Amino acid sequence: MNKVSIIAGKSSEDVGKKLSRKIKANLVKSQIRVFADGESKITLSGKISKKRSIVIQSIYPPVDTNLIQALSLVAKAKETSSEVIAVIPYMGYARQDREFLPGEIVTMKVLGKLFKGAGASKIIAVDIHSMIGFKHFPIKTKNISAIPELVEHFKKMSLKNPLVVSPDQGGKERAQKFAKELGSEYIALEKKRDRKTGKVQIKTKNISEVANRDLILVDDMISTGGSIVKATQFLKKQKCKKVYVACTHALLMNDAEKRIKKAGVTKIISTNTIPGKTSIVDISNIIAKAI
Ligand code: R5P
Protein backbone atom coordinates (compact mmCIF):
# COMPACT_ATOMS: atom_id res chain seq x y z
CA MET A 1 0.00 0.00 0.00
CA ASN A 2 1.05 3.59 -0.65
CA LYS A 3 3.16 5.04 2.15
CA VAL A 4 1.28 8.36 2.25
CA SER A 5 -2.42 8.97 2.25
CA ILE A 6 -4.10 12.28 1.56
CA ILE A 7 -7.32 12.67 3.50
CA ALA A 8 -9.26 15.42 1.77
CA GLY A 9 -11.87 17.24 3.80
CA LYS A 10 -14.91 18.73 2.08
CA SER A 11 -13.59 22.32 2.23
CA SER A 12 -10.38 21.40 0.36
CA GLU A 13 -11.62 18.54 -1.82
CA ASP A 14 -10.27 19.93 -5.07
CA VAL A 15 -6.80 20.84 -3.74
CA GLY A 16 -6.67 17.43 -2.00
CA LYS A 17 -7.34 15.62 -5.29
CA LYS A 18 -4.72 17.66 -7.16
CA LEU A 19 -2.21 17.12 -4.37
CA SER A 20 -2.69 13.35 -4.30
CA ARG A 21 -2.06 13.21 -8.06
CA LYS A 22 1.03 15.40 -7.75
CA ILE A 23 2.72 13.44 -4.97
CA LYS A 24 1.26 10.09 -6.14
CA ALA A 25 -0.41 9.45 -2.80
CA ASN A 26 -3.46 7.44 -2.01
CA LEU A 27 -6.56 9.68 -1.84
CA VAL A 28 -9.02 9.13 0.98
CA LYS A 29 -12.28 10.94 0.31
CA SER A 30 -14.66 12.18 2.96
CA GLN A 31 -18.39 12.20 2.72
CA ILE A 32 -20.09 14.73 4.95
CA ARG A 33 -23.59 15.06 6.25
CA VAL A 34 -24.36 18.10 8.35
CA PHE A 35 -27.47 17.42 10.42
CA ALA A 36 -30.21 20.00 11.00
CA ASP A 37 -28.71 20.84 14.41
CA GLY A 38 -25.32 21.60 12.84
CA GLU A 39 -23.48 18.40 13.80
CA SER A 40 -21.18 16.89 11.16
CA LYS A 41 -21.23 13.19 10.31
CA ILE A 42 -18.12 12.19 8.39
CA THR A 43 -17.59 8.93 6.51
CA LEU A 44 -14.22 8.13 4.94
CA SER A 45 -13.66 5.97 1.90
CA GLY A 46 -10.21 4.65 1.02
CA LYS A 47 -7.29 3.12 2.86
CA ILE A 48 -5.37 5.13 5.42
CA SER A 49 -1.59 4.63 5.42
CA LYS A 50 -0.02 3.12 8.54
CA LYS A 51 2.93 5.41 8.09
CA ARG A 52 1.85 8.92 7.20
CA SER A 53 -1.39 10.76 6.57
CA ILE A 54 -1.86 14.27 5.34
CA VAL A 55 -5.21 15.79 6.22
CA ILE A 56 -6.19 18.79 4.11
CA GLN A 57 -9.05 21.03 5.14
CA SER A 58 -9.34 24.84 5.02
CA ILE A 59 -11.10 26.59 7.89
CA TYR A 60 -13.32 29.09 6.08
CA PRO A 61 -17.02 29.68 6.80
CA PRO A 62 -18.80 27.87 8.31
CA VAL A 63 -15.60 28.19 10.34
CA ASP A 64 -16.47 26.09 13.38
CA THR A 65 -17.99 23.33 11.26
CA ASN A 66 -14.90 23.15 9.06
CA LEU A 67 -12.69 23.26 12.15
CA ILE A 68 -14.40 20.34 13.90
CA GLN A 69 -14.27 18.40 10.62
CA ALA A 70 -10.50 19.07 10.34
CA LEU A 71 -9.94 17.91 13.93
CA SER A 72 -12.12 14.82 13.40
CA LEU A 73 -10.18 13.87 10.26
CA VAL A 74 -6.87 14.25 12.11
CA ALA A 75 -8.14 12.12 15.01
CA LYS A 76 -9.40 9.40 12.65
CA ALA A 77 -6.13 9.39 10.68
CA LYS A 78 -4.14 9.06 13.91
CA GLU A 79 -5.94 5.80 14.74
CA THR A 80 -4.04 4.22 11.81
CA SER A 81 -1.09 6.44 10.85
CA SER A 82 1.93 6.95 13.06
CA GLU A 83 2.39 10.47 11.64
CA VAL A 84 -0.40 12.92 10.81
CA ILE A 85 0.22 16.29 9.21
CA ALA A 86 -2.63 18.80 9.08
CA VAL A 87 -2.57 21.05 6.03
CA ILE A 88 -4.91 23.97 6.66
CA PRO A 89 -4.60 26.15 3.53
CA TYR A 90 -6.75 28.92 5.02
CA MET A 91 -6.10 29.06 8.74
CA GLY A 92 -9.31 30.44 10.23
CA TYR A 93 -8.94 32.18 13.61
CA ALA A 94 -5.40 33.30 12.72
CA ARG A 95 -6.38 36.93 13.37
CA GLN A 96 -7.14 36.01 16.98
CA ASP A 97 -3.49 35.66 17.88
CA ARG A 98 -3.19 38.15 20.76
CA GLU A 99 -5.21 39.95 23.40
CA PHE A 100 -5.98 43.22 21.62
CA LEU A 101 -8.52 44.33 24.23
CA PRO A 102 -8.44 43.21 27.87
CA GLY A 103 -10.29 39.95 28.43
CA GLU A 104 -10.16 38.75 24.81
CA ILE A 105 -9.46 35.05 24.36
CA VAL A 106 -6.48 34.21 22.14
CA THR A 107 -8.26 31.49 20.15
CA MET A 108 -5.08 30.43 18.35
CA LYS A 109 -3.84 29.08 21.71
CA VAL A 110 -6.94 26.90 21.94
CA LEU A 111 -6.50 25.69 18.34
CA GLY A 112 -2.90 24.68 19.05
CA LYS A 113 -4.03 22.46 21.91
CA LEU A 114 -6.89 21.00 19.88
CA PHE A 115 -4.72 20.01 16.90
CA LYS A 116 -2.12 18.46 19.20
CA GLY A 117 -4.80 16.65 21.19
CA ALA A 118 -6.37 15.29 17.99
CA GLY A 119 -3.01 13.79 16.99
CA ALA A 120 -1.35 16.15 14.51
CA SER A 121 2.42 16.35 14.79
CA LYS A 122 2.72 19.23 12.35
CA ILE A 123 0.50 21.89 10.87
CA ILE A 124 1.02 23.65 7.55
CA ALA A 125 -0.83 26.81 6.48
CA VAL A 126 -0.67 29.03 3.41
CA ASP A 127 -0.02 32.73 4.06
CA ILE A 128 -1.16 32.64 7.66
CA HIS A 129 -2.33 36.10 8.76
CA SER A 130 0.68 36.45 11.09
CA MET A 131 3.28 34.05 12.43
CA ILE A 132 2.36 35.15 15.96
CA GLY A 133 -0.60 32.76 15.74
CA PHE A 134 1.65 29.74 15.24
CA LYS A 135 3.81 30.71 18.22
CA HIS A 136 0.97 29.42 20.40
CA PHE A 137 1.09 25.93 18.84
CA PRO A 138 2.77 23.15 20.83
CA ILE A 139 3.48 21.20 17.60
CA LYS A 140 5.69 21.86 14.54
CA THR A 141 4.34 24.57 12.26
CA LYS A 142 5.11 25.75 8.75
CA ASN A 143 3.78 28.64 6.75
CA ILE A 144 4.09 28.60 2.98
CA SER A 145 3.70 31.57 0.71
CA ALA A 146 1.40 31.70 -2.30
CA ILE A 147 2.93 34.98 -3.44
CA PRO A 148 5.20 33.41 -6.10
CA GLU A 149 2.16 31.70 -7.65
CA LEU A 150 0.10 34.92 -7.58
CA VAL A 151 3.01 36.86 -9.10
CA GLU A 152 3.30 34.29 -11.92
CA HIS A 153 -0.33 35.02 -12.75
CA PHE A 154 0.24 38.78 -12.81
CA LYS A 155 3.35 38.38 -14.96
CA LYS A 156 1.15 36.80 -17.64
CA MET A 157 -1.13 39.86 -17.51
CA SER A 158 1.75 42.05 -18.75
CA LEU A 159 0.70 45.23 -16.90
CA LYS A 160 2.77 48.29 -17.76
CA ASN A 161 4.94 49.49 -14.85
CA PRO A 162 2.44 48.51 -12.13
CA LEU A 163 2.86 49.69 -8.54
CA VAL A 164 2.27 47.19 -5.74
CA VAL A 165 0.29 48.62 -2.82
CA SER A 166 -0.33 47.19 0.64
CA PRO A 167 -3.54 48.56 2.22
CA ASP A 168 -1.80 48.67 5.60
CA GLN A 169 1.61 48.76 7.27
CA GLY A 170 1.13 45.18 8.56
CA GLY A 171 1.22 43.96 4.96
CA LYS A 172 4.33 45.90 3.99
CA GLU A 173 6.65 42.87 3.86
CA ARG A 174 4.11 40.97 1.78
CA ALA A 175 3.91 43.83 -0.73
CA GLN A 176 7.69 44.11 -0.78
CA LYS A 177 8.03 40.38 -1.57
CA PHE A 178 5.37 40.60 -4.26
CA ALA A 179 7.03 43.64 -5.84
CA LYS A 180 10.48 42.05 -5.75
CA GLU A 181 9.24 38.90 -7.52
CA LEU A 182 7.34 40.98 -10.07
CA GLY A 183 10.25 43.37 -10.57
CA SER A 184 8.32 46.49 -9.60
CA GLU A 185 8.07 49.09 -6.83
CA TYR A 186 5.78 49.05 -3.81
CA ILE A 187 4.22 51.33 -1.21
CA ALA A 188 2.22 50.65 1.98
CA LEU A 189 -0.74 52.76 3.08
CA GLU A 190 -1.60 53.52 6.65
CA LYS A 191 -4.87 51.95 7.78
CA LYS A 192 -6.65 52.23 11.10
CA ARG A 193 -9.26 49.76 12.28
CA ASP A 194 -11.55 50.49 15.19
CA ARG A 195 -11.09 47.46 17.45
CA LYS A 196 -14.68 47.69 18.68
CA THR A 197 -16.66 48.38 15.50
CA GLY A 198 -14.24 46.89 12.96
CA LYS A 199 -14.57 50.07 10.82
CA VAL A 200 -11.58 50.89 8.63
CA GLN A 201 -10.04 54.28 7.76
CA ILE A 202 -7.10 55.11 5.51
CA LYS A 203 -4.84 57.57 7.32
CA THR A 204 -2.35 58.18 4.50
CA LYS A 205 -2.49 61.70 3.10
CA ASN A 206 -1.85 62.54 -0.54
CA ILE A 207 0.70 60.43 -2.39
CA SER A 208 2.07 61.25 -5.82
CA GLU A 209 3.48 57.81 -6.81
CA VAL A 210 0.15 56.29 -7.81
CA ALA A 211 -1.07 58.86 -10.34
CA ASN A 212 -1.48 57.45 -13.87
CA ARG A 213 -0.30 53.99 -12.86
CA ASP A 214 -1.99 50.61 -12.71
CA LEU A 215 -1.95 49.31 -9.16
CA ILE A 216 -1.94 45.85 -7.60
CA LEU A 217 -3.40 45.89 -4.10
CA VAL A 218 -1.90 42.94 -2.24
CA ASP A 219 -3.41 41.48 0.93
CA ASP A 220 -3.42 38.13 2.69
CA MET A 221 -7.20 37.99 2.86
CA ILE A 222 -10.44 39.76 2.05
CA SER A 223 -13.22 39.27 4.56
CA THR A 224 -15.81 42.07 4.63
CA GLY A 225 -13.93 43.90 1.88
CA GLY A 226 -13.68 47.02 4.09
CA SER A 227 -9.88 47.31 3.76
CA ILE A 228 -9.87 46.95 -0.03
CA VAL A 229 -12.85 49.27 -0.52
CA LYS A 230 -11.33 52.06 1.59
CA ALA A 231 -7.89 51.65 0.00
CA THR A 232 -9.36 51.67 -3.54
CA GLN A 233 -11.48 54.76 -2.87
CA PHE A 234 -8.39 56.55 -1.58
CA LEU A 235 -6.20 55.43 -4.50
CA LYS A 236 -8.81 56.45 -7.07
CA LYS A 237 -8.86 59.95 -5.51
CA GLN A 238 -5.10 60.02 -6.11
CA LYS A 239 -5.85 59.58 -9.85
CA CYS A 240 -4.44 56.08 -10.34
CA LYS A 241 -5.39 54.03 -13.42
CA LYS A 242 -6.70 50.48 -12.90
CA VAL A 243 -6.72 48.76 -9.51
CA TYR A 244 -6.23 44.98 -9.42
CA VAL A 245 -6.41 42.96 -6.22
CA ALA A 246 -4.18 39.99 -5.43
CA CYS A 247 -4.95 38.03 -2.31
CA THR A 248 -4.42 34.53 -1.03
CA HIS A 249 -7.71 34.02 0.78
CA ALA A 250 -10.86 35.56 -0.71
CA LEU A 251 -13.58 35.02 1.88
CA LEU A 252 -15.66 37.80 0.29
CA MET A 253 -18.35 37.78 2.96
CA ASN A 254 -21.86 38.97 2.10
CA ASP A 255 -21.75 41.56 -0.70
CA ALA A 256 -18.00 42.23 -0.40
CA GLU A 257 -17.30 41.45 -4.07
CA LYS A 258 -20.01 43.83 -5.26
CA ARG A 259 -18.77 46.64 -3.00
CA ILE A 260 -15.16 46.11 -4.11
CA LYS A 261 -16.17 46.31 -7.77
CA LYS A 262 -18.28 49.39 -7.05
CA ALA A 263 -15.26 51.06 -5.44
CA GLY A 264 -13.46 50.67 -8.77
CA VAL A 265 -11.48 47.42 -8.65
CA THR A 266 -11.03 45.93 -12.13
CA LYS A 267 -10.34 42.34 -11.06
CA ILE A 268 -9.79 40.26 -7.91
CA ILE A 269 -7.38 37.36 -8.21
CA SER A 270 -7.12 34.88 -5.35
CA THR A 271 -6.00 31.30 -4.72
CA ASN A 272 -8.00 28.13 -4.20
CA THR A 273 -7.29 27.99 -0.44
CA ILE A 274 -10.92 29.12 -0.55
CA PRO A 275 -12.73 27.93 -3.67
CA GLY A 276 -14.84 30.57 -5.44
CA LYS A 277 -15.26 32.79 -8.48
CA THR A 278 -11.98 34.65 -7.97
CA SER A 279 -9.81 31.68 -6.94
CA ILE A 280 -7.92 31.14 -10.17
CA VAL A 281 -4.44 30.50 -8.76
CA ASP A 282 -3.80 26.90 -7.68
CA ILE A 283 -1.81 26.17 -4.49
CA SER A 284 -1.41 22.39 -4.84
CA ASN A 285 2.12 22.78 -6.27
CA ILE A 286 3.43 24.78 -3.33
CA ILE A 287 1.85 22.36 -0.86
CA ALA A 288 3.36 19.40 -2.71
CA LYS A 289 6.78 21.02 -2.43
CA ALA A 290 6.32 21.72 1.29
CA ILE A 291 5.40 18.17 2.39
C1 R5P B 1 -5.75 42.76 8.21
O2 R5P B 1 -4.77 43.09 8.83
C3 R5P B 1 -5.72 41.77 7.09
O4 R5P B 1 -4.47 41.69 6.48
C5 R5P B 1 -6.77 42.11 6.05
O6 R5P B 1 -6.49 43.36 5.49
C7 R5P B 1 -8.13 42.13 6.67
O8 R5P B 1 -8.31 41.06 7.53
C9 R5P B 1 -9.21 42.15 5.63
O10 R5P B 1 -10.45 42.20 6.26
P11 R5P B 1 -11.64 43.05 5.64
O12 R5P B 1 -11.82 42.57 4.24
O13 R5P B 1 -12.80 42.74 6.52
O14 R5P B 1 -11.24 44.48 5.72
SS3 assignment, position 175: helix
Q: If you measure from the C-alpha of residue 117 to the centroid of ligand 1, how many angstroms do you get, rounded to a whole number?
A: 30
Mean pLDDT along residues 278-286: 97
Mean pLDDT along residues 8-15: 97
**Whether CATH 1.10.3720.10 fits 4-145+283-290:** no
Q: Is residue 171 lining ligand 1, measured as CB closer than 6 Å?
A: yes
Residue 260 has pLDDT above 90, yes or no: yes
CA 172/CA 267 separation, integer angstroms = 21
**Residues with catalytic roles:** 191
The distance in angstroms from the start CA to the end CA of the chain is 19
pLDDT for the residue numbered 106: 97
| Confidence band, pLDDT 50/70/90 cuts, at residue 154 | very high
Instruction: Write b or e for each residue in 231-240: b if 16 or more Cβ atoms lie within 10 A of its Cβ, otherwise e.
Output: bbebbbebeb
Which of 130, 202, 222, 234 to probe ligand 1 with, by most ligand atoms within 8 A of CB? 222
Q: If you measure from the C-alpha of residue 227 to the centroid of ligand 1, how many angstroms do you get, rounded to a whole number?
A: 6
| Confidence band, pLDDT 50/70/90 cuts, at residue 32 | very high
pLDDT for the residue numbered 50: 96
Q: Is residue 92 lining ligand 1, measured as CB closer than 6 Å?
A: no
Interval 231-249: pLDDT, tens: 999 999 999 999 999 999 9
Contacts for 207 with CB less than 8 Å, ≥ 6 apart: 187, 238
Domain borders along the chain are 4-145+283-290, 147-272
Interval 179-218: pLDDT, tens: 999 999 999 999 998 888 888 899 998 888 999 999 999 9
pLDDT for the residue numbered 120: 98
Q: If you measure from the C-alpha of residue 16 to the centroid of ligand 1, how many angstroms do you get, rounded to a whole number?
A: 27
Stated pTM of the model? 0.94
For residue 268, list its beta bridge partners.
Answer: 245
Q: Is residue 232 lining ligand 1, measured as CB closer than 6 Å?
A: no
CB 270 within 8 A of CB 248: yes
User: Class of the 147-272 domain?
Assistant: alpha beta
The closest residue, in CA terms, to atom 10 on ligand 1 is 223
Q: What angle do CA 115, 119, 122 make, to 5 degrees?
A: 65
Interval 50-105: pLDDT, tens: 999 999 999 999 999 999 999 999 999 999 999 999 999 999 999 999 999 999 99
pLDDT for the residue numbered 2: 63
pLDDT for the residue numbered 87: 98
Residue 135 has pLDDT above 70, yes or no: yes
Mean pLDDT, the chain, integer: 96
Mean pLDDT along residues 106-129: 98
pLDDT for the residue numbered 158: 85
DSSP, residue by residue, 189-223: --EEE-TTT--EEE-----STTTT--EEEEEEEES
Q: Is residue 130 lining ligand 1, measured as CB closer than 6 Å?
A: no
Q: Is residue 94 lining ligand 1, measured as CB closer than 6 Å?
A: no
Q: Is residue 58 lining ligand 1, measured as CB closer than 6 Å?
A: no
Residue 262 has pLDDT above 70, yes or no: yes
pLDDT for the residue numbered 198: 83
CB 203 within 8 A of CB 192: yes
Which of 221, 234, 252, 257 to probe ligand 1 with, by most ligand atoms within 8 A of CB? 221
Q: If you measure from the C-alpha of residue 175 to the centroid of ligand 1, how many angstroms do you get, rounded to a whole number?
A: 14
